[in-house]
Amino acid sequence: MNPGAHALDRQINDNEEGSVSENTTRELDVRVIPPREKHPTIFQTFLALAPGESFVLVNDHDPKPLRYQFEFQYPGQFGWEYLEQGPTVWRVRISRQGA
C-alpha cells in the first residue's frame, strides 16, 4: 500500500488483513483479574473476536471449568488448544469458529 493512498483505503486494507494481524498474539492474562470479572471478561473478549481469530488465555491453573462452560454455551463455535500446561502457568489458545 503506497503511503500516498487515501487513509480510508489503508484502513480498509488493514481490516481485510484483520485490524490486528494474525501474527500478533492477543494475550489475555487472567491472573490479575478479580474473581467476579474473570469469566465475563473472558467471554467478552471471545465475543469481540471475528471468526478465525483467537486469543491466548494465560492462567495459573488449568482452566477446565471454563472449557466446560464454553462447551455448553458455545458448542462447536470455539477452538481450545493448550500451548503450555503448568506447572506454574497455563496457556490456552481459544479461537472463535463458525459464522
Partner 1 sequence: MRLTLSSAAAPDASFDDLLAACTRRGFAAVELEAGHAHGVSPSVGLEAASAAAERAARAGIGIAALRLDDVASVTDPRTPRLAAALGAPVVVRIDGDVASTVRAAAPLFAEAGATLLLACSGDVDEIGRLRGWIEAAPTGALGLAWDVTPGDSQIRVPAAVLEAAAGHIRHIRLHGGGPETMGQEGLGVGRLMSALALSGYTGTLALAPSDPRFRYAWGAWLGRRGGWGCGSKTGSDTVVIESRVEER
Partner 2 sequence: MNDEKRVVLDVRPVPPKDRFDMIMGAYEALEPGQVLDLLVDHDPECMYYTLKATQGDDAFDFEYLLRGPVDWRVEVRKLAPSPAEEAGAG
Give the binding site for partner 2 (CB under 8 A): 35-36, 38-39, 59-62, 64-66, 68-69, 71-73
Q: Which ranges constitute the DSSP H helices of the chain?
A: 7-17, 35-47, 64-73
85: which 3 cell numbers?
A: 500446561
Strand, coil or helix: what is 54? Answer: strand
Half-sphere exposure of 40 (CA within 13 A, CB side): 5
Q: Which is nearer to partner 2, 62 or 84 (CB)?
A: 62
CA dist., res. 36 & res. 97, Å (int):
26
By the rule CB under 8 A, 28 interacts with partner 1: yes
For residue 7, give the 3-state DSSP assignment.
Answer: helix
Q: Residue 9 or residue 60: which is nearer to partner 1 going by CB?
A: 60
What is the nearest approach in angstroms of partner 1 to the Cβ of residue 56? 8
Task: Give whichever of 68 and 82 is closer to partner 2, judged by the CB atom.
Answer: 68
Contacts with partner 1, residue ranges (CB under 8 A): 20-21, 24-38, 40-41, 44-45, 48, 55, 58, 60, 88-89
